[in-house]
Amino acid sequence: MITITVNGKEIQIDKPMTVLEAAKKAGIKIPTLCHHELLESYGGCRLCVVEVERMPKLQNACTLLAADGMVIRTESEVISKVRSEMLELLLINHPLDCAYCDKAGECELQDLVNKYGPTVGRYKEEKRKVPESHTDPIFARHMGRCVVCTRCVRMCDTVQGASAISMIERGGRTRMEPFSSTSFNCEYCGNCLTVCPVGAILSRLYIHSYRPWQVDKEIKTICPYCGVGCSLFVQVRDNSIKRVIPKIGQGLNNGLLCSRGRFGYEFIESQERLKSPLVKEKGKFKQSTWNEAFHFVAGRLMEIRELHGGKAIAGIASPRCTNEDNYVFQKFMRMACRTNNIDSISRIGFAAAQKYIEDLLGQGVTSNIIDGLKNSDAILVIGGDPTAVNPILGLAIRAAARNGANVIVVGNAKGLVPIIRDKTLRIIHPVFREADVLELLLTNIFKTQDVRAEKPAIDKRIKELSEKPVKMDIKEMEKLVKILLGSNSISIVAGMELVQRVDGHRSLFAIAALTYLLEARLFLLSEKPNEQGLIDMGCLPDMLPGGRPINVGDFKHKFEAAWKESIPQDKGITLMEMIGAIRNKDIKALYIMGENPVFNLPNGHYIREALESLDFLVVQDIFLTETAELADVVLPALGWAEKDGTYTNLERRVQLLKRAIDSSSGIEDWKIISEISSIMGYEMDYSSAEKIMEEIAKVSPLYRDLTYKEIGAGDCLWPYHGEPLRGELNEVPVAVDITQDYKADFYLAIEKPLFHSGTLSRRASALRKICPEPTLKISPQHAGKLKLKEGDRVNISTAQGTISVPVSIDASITDNRVLLSNNFENKGVFNLLNFSLDKVTKAPGIEGCEVKIERK
Amino acid sequence: MFNETVLKEIDEIKGRYPDFRSALLPALYVAQREFGWLSHEAMSYVARTLNLPEAMVRGTASFYSMFKHKEAGRHLIQLCTNVSCMILGAERLVDFLRTKYGMEPDNTTQDGRFSLVIMECIGACGTAPAMLVNTDFYDNLTEGKIEEILDKYK
């Protein structure tokens, strides 16, 4: 225990820390400028100087480690004088243009000068002039205002790991610049904005549009983009979102954000938002009143239910909707529509993976605390780029790498390649054969690490696999096995590319078995904000809320008692099976909440044909999407910042979503559904989202006793007061092994970019400015072979169709795959891809799609 | 991009240090020698060759005034105008270069023959005024002597 005295107050600390940190712990504030909580101490500005008894000179509190017996004063005449002079030096060049600087009112320099600063400066020379830069799509730079604290550069280097900016030149000319002086061309996380103490780096999204003190309200909510669920503070003026910021100490992102979260909010105020319910008459949409629309939908659904039974109806839920929306949705499908045909887009990734792995290892095994990644010794990343899919989780991996962890990247995780550099491993494998790599790794680990004999089914399958090992030559395998066996704390980060294979379940088994053998922590990347919640709410054909299997009588009866109605007998079918059933005319009506399957499922043409053949299609959304255009009725819902509710993130953390702005056009998803359900004869009369959570907390064993008050206080991870289920499989489900060699010139595959997510992001103008159009990513070698240069336009054709896009050369691609994203209207990769189902997980296998590339 | 011999040279430089970052300054000198100055493209090559972030390469390169960041003439004249040189008439020499050869500080002559840089002290105070032409050192300068020297650089 170390005891120091600060301003006469004794402070006891139990671990090494700086005087600044110790003082802060005791509530004593020492002024700082270059220091920032998220960054390492720097000791550049000299504003945190303190007097330490028996030390001859003033000391920097931010770099001085507290030692036992130190007696420190943080304020004195001498200290004030020094601080005043330090500020006077900074003001030699700082322009004092506070009258029109966006930062005024929340400027750290302004506050410091107000407290300590000189009233008159003694330096009469002209201030330096650095031209403003407004050439970047997002950031404006006023480098005349820069005080060279280097916070932005340190943030970009050591926390974000992007290293996109640096201090250039020296002396009085020093300033921050990105490599190309005009554009940042970076990850656009905007974390440099957060740390800039003055108005040197500004966001062009809100420049000169308001003052910090003119914000009407600030609402804490959750990001609408990915499954990490970062906390955001939405600042509103005149019912319009002015700015989205993170805060230190708030939420699991602790002051950090990514480009989508920080700059992607503009979709909510898009002009394209749906304004009123639309009902199709003779092929044309006509505006209708809510009441008419409700009765029309209820009437048609009842007709189909009476005529063909509930099994002719299906519902697609949404991982962008809240837990409350999804809970009400599945209850409506089961109780009012009398069907278990409920699934979601998560079937093509997260839901399929989670179900398979939880069946083997038990509930909750895929959910671990993101922050814990930082403490791993070894991290195995496969099946996707965490820094693009779940950027804040990606930062935890980068942090672990800086702490000395071995990061092993299998395949193409672009955002991690610069981090691993020559220190650890990158494994390149034949295209689409992740399952073979994983099985090979598993059998190699099994050679030295015996089974744990806790899960007989898994043990048996591992033994089976090791009897006929995969034939594949991976030269780094020995090193990889050595790293994993030599590490105490292992994390496995699995992306959803693994699931989207015909033999996806093989990869999933290997992942589960490795988790089990190595006692690793498993993280599944989740693209949408509420994929976990959607599963928890029972939006699966075979699961009730709380992940309770529908075929277990006890669970079924409990829900029947709570819902006062029987659960339909017919087995439900999964998403891709639904499409098939629609084409076979077995399903006649489809109810879609907040999803765009025509765009977001492979072989869009095939999906479109299916939906066009439906007798009745209802789409509830905030935009007239490709799918909504096919609907008989379109019901405008409320978007992310307009409603209350909860999201459950990939760590199974339940978090509150709060209304920040009012919308005049839409209604909450759960309310629309409740109205229709009541008309159909199954009464639902929830008065608020909170009331729905009260019901969930009663019926779901995983959310037992959870209240909004507790969720709002933070750190609500399920199982709350309930119990998770253990994995109880007697036999590991496997399908016939299909291992194909892919030998064509080029294969088309899906790119998951950092700046876009699809329907929402393409309507966020800032994200459009950063990344305005899709490009075909190709490796430098193959671009050279085809004589393609950056920006050349090409036609890419598959059996499904042709799209014309510019080429972008990407050195992180090392094989004969070419990548295209699925984000832009009419240019989605899914339109060009075909699929065949993984027989076990029922996820679409999207592999081996040959593609022709022709210069246009 | 660098040719094979240069890449080999940089590889050799890399081998001298525990990490690539330490090889940055010598690698930048090689780049400057090869391309005449450090364009963005040249810095980008260096970054790729050493596996370092581009911004960091530029930050480092721009800190040192002996790296050239503008396309330069065939010969670089660096003339000192610090205290000793100034007292002994360096500023007159700048005027001489301006009128006789059409040189402007930080600019290149129209014929691309000379670039002029006013540099800080080169430690030749005892024999001021002094200058460097490329890497050759000259001191005790006078107008006549400068004329004689520059005749050697075509």
CATH number at residue B43: 1.10.10
Q: How confident is the model at residue A737 (pLDDT cuts 50, 70, 90)?
A: low
Coil, strand or helix: which one is A696?
helix
Q: Are A33 and A108 in contact (CB under 8 A)?
A: yes
Using the Cα atoms of residue A377, residue A383, residue A388 and residue A390 in order, give the sign of their dihedral: negative
* Mutant choice from B11, B24, B56 vs A, greatest count of A C-beta within 10 A: B56
Q: Which residues between 12 and 41 in chain B have a beta carbon less than 8 angstroms from any beta carbon of chain A?
A: 40
Q: Are A414 and A812 in contact (CB under 8 A)?
A: yes
**Given a cut of 60, is residue A720 above it in pLDDT?**
no
CA-atom Rg of chain A in angstroms: 28
Tell whether A838 is covered by a domain.
Answer: yes
Report the distance separating Cα A272 and Cα A546, nearest Å: 36
* CATH number of the domain enclosing B123: 3.40.30.10
In chain B, the DSSP E strands lie at: 75-80, 107-108, 114-119, 131-133, 136-138
Number of domains within chain B: 2
Same-domain check for residues B57 and B82: no
Report the distance separating Cα A121 and Cα A546, nearest Å: 66
Q: Which residues of A touch B44 (CB under 8 A)?
A: 179
Return the pLDDT at B137. Answer: 95
Mean pLDDT in residue range A150-161: 96
Q: Cβ atoms within 10 A of the Cβ of A744, count?
A: 12
State the nearest Cα–Cα gap between B153 and chain A, in angstroms.
30
Q: Which residue has the higher pLDDT, A74 or A468?
A: A74
Return the pLDDT at A362. Answer: 87
In chain A, the residue whose alpha carbon lies closest to the alpha carbon of B39 is A180
Tell whether A188 is covered by a domain.
Answer: no
**Given a cut of 80, is residue A691 above it in pLDDT?**
yes
Q: Are A74 and A58 in contact (CB under 8 A)?
A: no
Report the distance separating Cα A244 and Cα B10, nearest Å: 46
* Mutant choice from B1, B39, B46, B58 vs A, greatest count of A C-beta within 10 A: B58
Cβ pair B62:A168 closer than 8 A: yes
- B140 inside 8 A of chain A by CB: no
State the nearest Cα–Cα gap between B81 and chain A, in angstroms.
18
Return the pLDDT at A422. Answer: 58
Coil, strand or helix: which one is B96?
helix
Mean pLDDT, all residues of chain A: 93
Q: Which residues of B touch A177 (CB under 8 A)?
A: 55, 58
Q: Cβ atoms within 10 A of the Cβ of A745, count?
A: 13
**Given a cut of 60, is residue A212 above it in pLDDT?**
yes
Q: Which residues of B touch A157 (CB under 8 A)?
A: 53, 56
In chain A, the residue whose alpha carbon lies closest to the alpha carbon of B47 is A179
Mean pLDDT in residue range A754-759: 92
> Cis peptide leading into B129, omega within 30 of 0?
yes
Instruction: Output the CA angle A91-A92-A98, nearest 5 degrees.
Output: 40
Coil, strand or helix: which one is B88?
coil
Return the pLDDT at A363. Answer: 85
State the nearest Cα–Cα gap between B55 and chain A, in angstroms.
4
Here the ipTM equals 0.88
Tell whether B51 is covered by a domain.
Answer: yes
Mean pLDDT in residue range B32-41: 90
* Containing structural domain, residue A372: 350-524
Residue A593's beta-bridge partner residues?
A620
Find the chain A residues whose C-beta atoms sit closer than 8 A to any C-beta of B: 153, 156-157, 162-170, 177-180, 418, 421-422
Give the DSSP H/E element, type plus range, for residue A802: strand A801-809
Q: How confident is the model at residue A423 (pLDDT cuts 50, 70, 90)?
A: low
Return the pLDDT at A756. Answer: 94
Report the distance separating Cα A252 and Cα A714, nearest Å: 10
Return the pLDDT at A562. Answer: 95
* CATH number of the domain enclosing A850: 2.40.40.20
Q: Which residues of B touch A179 (CB under 8 A)?
A: 40, 43-44, 53-55, 57-58
Cβ pair B59:A168 closer than 8 A: yes
Return the pLDDT at A87. Answer: 96
Q: Are A691 and A670 in contact (CB under 8 A)?
A: no
Q: 3-state DSSP helix/strand/coil percent for chain A, to nearest 5?
A: 35, 20, 45
* Containing structural domain, residue B26: 4-63
State the nearest Cα–Cα gap between B59 and chain A, in angstroms.
4
Q: Are A821 and A832 in contact (CB under 8 A)?
A: no
In chain B, the residue whose alpha carbon lies closest to the alpha carbon of A167 is B59
In chain A, the residue whose alpha carbon lies closest to the alpha carbon of B52 is A418
Looking at A218-232, A526-540, B68-82, which range is the least confident one?
B68-82
Residue B19 is classified by DSSP as: S
Q: What is the largest CA-CA distance in chain A?
A: 92
Q: Which residues of A touch B40 (CB under 8 A)?
A: 179-180
Structural domain ending residue among the three candidates B23, B42, B63: B63
Which one-letter amino acid corresponds to residue A736?
V
Tell whether B31 is covered by a domain.
Answer: yes
State the nearest Cα–Cα gap between A785 and chain B, in angstroms.
18
Report the distance separating Cα A776 and Cα A793, nearest Å: 9
Comparing CB atoms, the residue among A163, A170, A180 nearest residue B53 is A163
Return the pLDDT at A76. Answer: 95
Report the distance separating Cα A492 and Cα B59, nearest Å: 36
State the nearest Cα–Cα gap between B120 and chain A, in angstroms.
13
Same-domain check for residues B54 and B120: no
Q: Which residue has the higher pLDDT, A324 or A705?
A: A324
Is A333 exposed, middle or buried (CB count within 10 Å of its CB: 0-12, 13-18, 19+)?
A: buried
Return the pLDDT at A553. Answer: 86
In chain B, the residue whose alpha carbon lies closest to the alpha carbon of A178 is B55
Return the pLDDT at A714. Answer: 78
Tell whether A618 is covered by a domain.
Answer: no
Return the pLDDT at A365. Answer: 86
Q: Which residues of B touch A164 (CB under 8 A)?
A: 53, 55
Cα distance from N-terminal residue to C-terminal residue, chain B: 28
Mean pLDDT in residue range A730-737: 76
State the nearest Cα–Cα gap between B52 and chain A, in angstroms.
8
Structural domain ending residue among the three candidates B17, B42, B63: B63
Return the pLDDT at A704. Answer: 87
Tell whether A296 is covered by a domain.
Answer: no
Tell whether A65 is covered by a domain.
Answer: yes
Phi–psi pair at A635, nearest 5 degrees = -115, 115
Report the distance separating Cα A791 and Cα A783, nearest Å: 11
Same-domain check for residues B102 and B143: yes
Comparing CB atoms, the residue among B43, B54, B63 nearest residue A170 is B63
Cβ pair B51:A422 closer than 8 A: yes
Residue A776's beta-bridge partner residues?
A807
Cβ pair A166:B59 closer than 8 A: yes
Cβ pair B56:A421 closer than 8 A: no
In chain A, the residue whose alpha carbon lies closest to the alpha carbon of B41 is A180
Put residue B33 in one of left, alpha, beta given phi > 0 → left and psi -120 to 50 → alpha.
Answer: alpha
pLDDT digits (tens, 9 = 90+) for A381-392: 999 999 999 999
**Given a cut of 70, is residue B107 above it in pLDDT?**
yes
Report the distance separating Cα A261 and Cα A190, nearest Å: 10
Upper half-sphere CA count for residue A49 (Cβ side, 13 Å): 22
Mean pLDDT in residue range A493-503: 94
**Given a cut of 90, is residue A692 above it in pLDDT?**
yes
Mean pLDDT in residue range B53-64: 95
Comparing CB atoms, the residue among A167, A421, A422 nearest residue B59 is A167
* CATH number of the domain enclosing A460: 3.40.228.10
Cβ pair A164:B63 closer than 8 A: no
State the nearest Cα–Cα gap between A389 and chain B, in angstroms.
22
Tell whether A458 is covered by a domain.
Answer: yes
Tell whether A331 is covered by a domain.
Answer: no
Comparing CB atoms, the residue among B54, B56, B62 nearest residue A169 is B62
The candidate with the shortest Cα–Cα distance to A791, out of A810, A774, A807, A775, is: A807
Number of domains within chain A: 3
Q: How many residues does chain A have?
A: 856
Q: Which residues between 38 and 67 in chain B have a beta carbon less than 8 angstroms from any beta carbon of chain A?
A: 40, 43-44, 51, 53-60, 62-63
Comparing CB atoms, the residue among A168, A177, A421 nearest residue B51 is A421
Same-domain check for residues B58 and B109: no
Q: Which residues of B touch A184 (CB under 8 A)?
A: none
Return the pLDDT at A725. Answer: 73
Tell whether B69 is covered by a domain.
Answer: no
> Cis peptide leading into A719, omega within 30 of 0?
yes
State the nearest Cα–Cα gap between B56 and chain A, in angstroms.
6
**Percent of chain A clearing pLDDT 90 (strictly above):** 83
pLDDT digits (tens, 9 = 90+) for A433-447: 999 999 999 999 998
Is A773 exposed, middle or buried (CB count within 10 Å of its CB: 0-12, 13-18, 19+)?
A: exposed
Q: Which residues of A touch B59 (CB under 8 A)?
A: 153, 166-168
Q: Are B47 and B21 in contact (CB under 8 A)?
A: no
Q: How confident is the model at residue A721 (pLDDT cuts 50, 70, 90)?
A: low
Tokens of A274: 């749906």
DSSP symbols for A149-199: --HHHHIIIIIS----EEEES-GGG-EEEESSSS---S----HHHHH-SST
Same-domain check for residues B87 and B58: no
Report the distance separating Cα A387 and Cα A651, nearest Å: 17
Report the distance separating Cα A732 and Cα A49, nearest Å: 64
Q: How confident is the model at residue A24 (pLDDT cuts 50, 70, 90)?
A: very high
Cβ pair A168:B56 closer than 8 A: no
In A572-693, the DSSP E strands lie at: 589-593, 616-621, 633-636, 645-648, 653-657
Structural domain ending residue among the three candidates B12, B32, B63: B63
Same-domain check for residues B107 and B133: yes
**Percent of chain A clearing pLDDT 70 (strictly above):** 98
Q: How far is CA A553 from CA A556, A557, A605, A809, B130, in A?
A: 5, 6, 40, 56, 97
Instruction: Output the CA angle A523-A529-A530, nearest 5 degrees.
Output: 85
In A537-631, the DSSP E strands lie at: 543-544, 548-549, 589-593, 616-621
Mean pLDDT in residue range A66-79: 96
State the nearest Cα–Cα gap between B13 and chain A, in angstroms.
17
Comparing CB atoms, the residue among B40, B51, B55 nearest residue A166 is B55
